[in-house]
Structure 1
Amino acid sequence: MSANQAYAKVPGDDEEKYNNVAEASNTVPEDSATTKPSVTNSPMIAILSYCGSSILMTVTNKYVLGGRDFNLNFFLLCVQSVICLVTIESCKRGGLITYREFNMAQAKKWFPISALLVGMIYTGSKALAYLTIPVYTIFKNLTIICIAYGEVLCFGGSVTRMALVSFGLMVLSSGIAAWADVKTPATPGDATNDGGLFSMLNAGYVWMALNCICNAVFVLAMKVRIKVTNFKDFDTMYYNNLLSIPILLVCSLLLEDWSSANVALNFPADNRTSIISAMVISGLSSVFISYTSAWCVRVTSSTTYSMVGALNKLPLAISGLLFFNNPVTLGGCSAIALGFVSGLVYTYAKINEKKTKEVEVLPMTKMPTSRDT
């Protein structure tokens, strides 16, 4: 979980999260791939790169956050933001990308968005620390529901019947995932996790609920702010990372334990190098997600990208089973399958909704009826 997940994916990124903001920024046109044969114009390579970077970041974050004694979440997120900022600044100096220069007036206007971002990525990191990757991935679907109804309340949108069906599947898959999670011991022979009521309300699910709310508020607020500031993708990435660093650093220094004993606990000598390497890789992979997201839209279309985001949930959930030896149960597999289907149904609903809007005639062009007169 990093600052770039907020608009790249999709929340698991979102994700999710990460399509509404891309549409608002209007940085990449649909179906703009050229016919010139090259690696950079290959849809398959773009899609695989996006999926790979998404899985890489989630797995490395889980490796660090899932450690038995790791509790420096603010520090981890701060390191990731610094790495992202250094990377995009290096790319800018090398002429690979461009974004607007720092402006204090714009920074002041954008600062509340960065504060919301910190709340979102912190609650996400806490949820990922407690939950398995499959459960975390499935529950991220609930963010879509929060954002959809947030748009209805804030922007006067609507929810189609097909979208409601997908929401029902998302809720059902989340319920099955939670039931399977609490019924399965975290470790072999763990008798404390007996599936009781209180175990269902453990810290992981509380943090996940908070993350869904924070994610929706952040996306809706940034959607409004992007329209006002006319930020492009790299402008958003630059300001999000730059302004979140001081917040994360202050929170880490004030709220986290920086005693020598706790530092040694978080970075034990036997795997200190691997933990630091995972932190660096997760920061770099979040930059890759931002780049490959735009790459996918450029060489395919935003519709195909939406479908890839839905399909990506399956390998993302499976990665948790492969890399962290999460127990494979009937309930867990059913929840993953339902979550996967719900994502496809939601994507199909959004595609149909977009097509309907495109063929609708503007009200001002309709001939008045006798009832209207």
Structure 2
Amino acid sequence: MCMRRCLVGLTFCTCYLASYLTNKYVLSVLKFTYPTLFQGWQTLIGGILLHASWKLGWAEINSSSRSDVLTWLPASLLFVGIIYAGSRALSRLAIPVFLTLHNVAEVIICGHQKCFRKEKTSPAKICSALFLLAAAGCLPFNDSQYDPDGYFWAVIHFFCVGAYKILQKSQKPTTLSDIDQQYLNYLFSVVFLALASHPTGDLLSVLDFPFLSFYRFHGSCCASGFLGFFLMFSTVKLKSLMAPGQCAAWIFCAKVITAALSILLFDTILTRGTVGWATGFCQSGEPQRAPLAATR
């Protein structure tokens, strides 16, 4: 059992690392900045693979009633906001900066639990949330590659992540499992992003993309779709097999490795102040759940 948990944890870390690096390569190096198409492609591949896994008996998808689907619809809309804004932000920000800002979602969740649900919150968790907020707030003043648009989309991203998790928690207990929820997210995202690709201009602008016929672009896009699915699947397995503390440890490990390698692989300039505050991503206040696979 211990060996199985280690294997799942290592698989999760590998998928987390590979998914972030691949997405960053497509978005920042190849500069494929057409999020409705890129995220639509990823969710399409994820949906097809999840459906195939269900047919092969590798995953269980329960039949959902119309009321369950309609109840989950706002969460699916937030999921689209998460992946769209996340794609925009990641294309402009360094991965350590993006991860630090992403974790501000935990501050939103903590504040909601404390102020609206009146739940007891430990002083350690409050201090962790305040540290995350301070780290994110100081980053723009120490970021030598400061991009206002990147930070703007990062703010939308972490607000959507926070709202998604709050909504997800408020609907429990529910007949929808994590796999069911992700399946509905995939279906809704594919339809929504396909319809949005023309009004946003992505559908026509992509014809001018210089690497459209290059094999490295095709390979990277295919890899991003498959890696996104494997990350989602390994996240679900991680949550089902391990205690919250163990999940948090593996998440911490995945983030540290991803942030460190991204600095070596991409053109990233981090000042001493940025490095200091970016360590806030290691203090993720996410001890109870793994990160969403679609946060990428």
- TM-score of Structure 1 vs Structure 2, range by shorter chain: 0.7 to 0.9
1:168 to 1:75, Cα distance in 2 relative to 1, 3 A: same
Q: Any conservation in 1 of the 2:37–2:202 contact (CA below 8 Å)?
A: no
Q: Decide which of 43, 56, 66 is 2:5's aligned counterpart.
A: 43
Greater CA radius of gyration, 1 or 2? Answer: 1
Of residues 49-58 and 329-338 in structure 1, the stretch that sits farther from structure 2 once superposed is 329-338
Q: Would you say the 8 A contact 1:119–1:214 is kept in 2?
A: yes
What do residues 80-119 of structure 1 show as CA deviations (whole Å, max 9, x unaligned)? 1110111011111111111113654433332222112111
Paired position in structure 1 for 2:206:
263
Provide the residue aligned with 1:203 in structure 2.
Answer: 149
Q: Distance in 2 between matches of 1:233 and 1:267?
A: 38
Alignment match, 1:179: 141
**8 Å contact from structure 1 (residues 83, 284) kept in 2:** yes
Question: How far apart are the structure 2 equivalents of 1:211 and 1:73?
Answer: 13
Aligned: 1:106 with 2:68: yes
Shift of 1:145: 0.2
Distance in structure 2 (CA, Å) of the matches to 1:59 and 1:241: 22
Q: Does 1:142 align with 2:142?
A: no
2:75/2:164 contact within 8 Å kept: yes
Mapping 1:175-324, distance limit 5 Å: 175-181=137-143, 184=144, 186=145, 202-227=148-173, 229-259=174-204, 262-269=205-212, 272-324=214-266
Change (3 A) 1:165 1:291: same
Decide whether the 8 Å contact of 1:314 with 1:336 is kept in 2.
no
Give the secondary-structure state (helix, strand or coil) at the position aligned to 2:104. Answer: helix
Distance in 2 (alpha carbons) for counterparts of 1:280 and 1:147: 34
Is the contact between residue 150 and residue 216 of structure 1 (CA under 8 Å) also seen in structure 2?
no
CA–CA separation in structure 2 for the residues paired with 1:284 and 1:310: 23
Structure 1 unaligned residues grouped into runs of 5+: 1-32, 36-40, 187-198, 351-373
Q: Give me the TM-score of the superposition, normalised by structure 1.
A: 0.70
| Matched residue count | 288
SS at match of 1:130: coil
Specify whether residues 175 and 220 from structure 1 end up closer, same or farther in structure 2 by C-alpha distance, changes over 3 A only: closer
Give secondary structure in 2 for the equivalent of 1:42.
Answer: helix
From the superposition, tell whether residues 112 and 347 of structure 1 become closer, same or farther in structure 2 (CA, over 3 Å): closer
Q: CA RMSD in A?
A: 2.4
Query: Which residue of the partner structure matches residue 7 of structure 1?
Result: none
Decide which of 123, 139, 160 is 1:161's aligned counterpart: 123
Report SS of the residue matched to 1:66: helix
How far did 1:55 drift?
1.3
Which of 83, 96, 102 is the matching residue for 2:58? Answer: 96
Structure 1 Cα separation of the partners of residues 87 and 232 of structure 2 = 19
Identity of aligned residues (%): 20
Shift of 1:69: 4.7
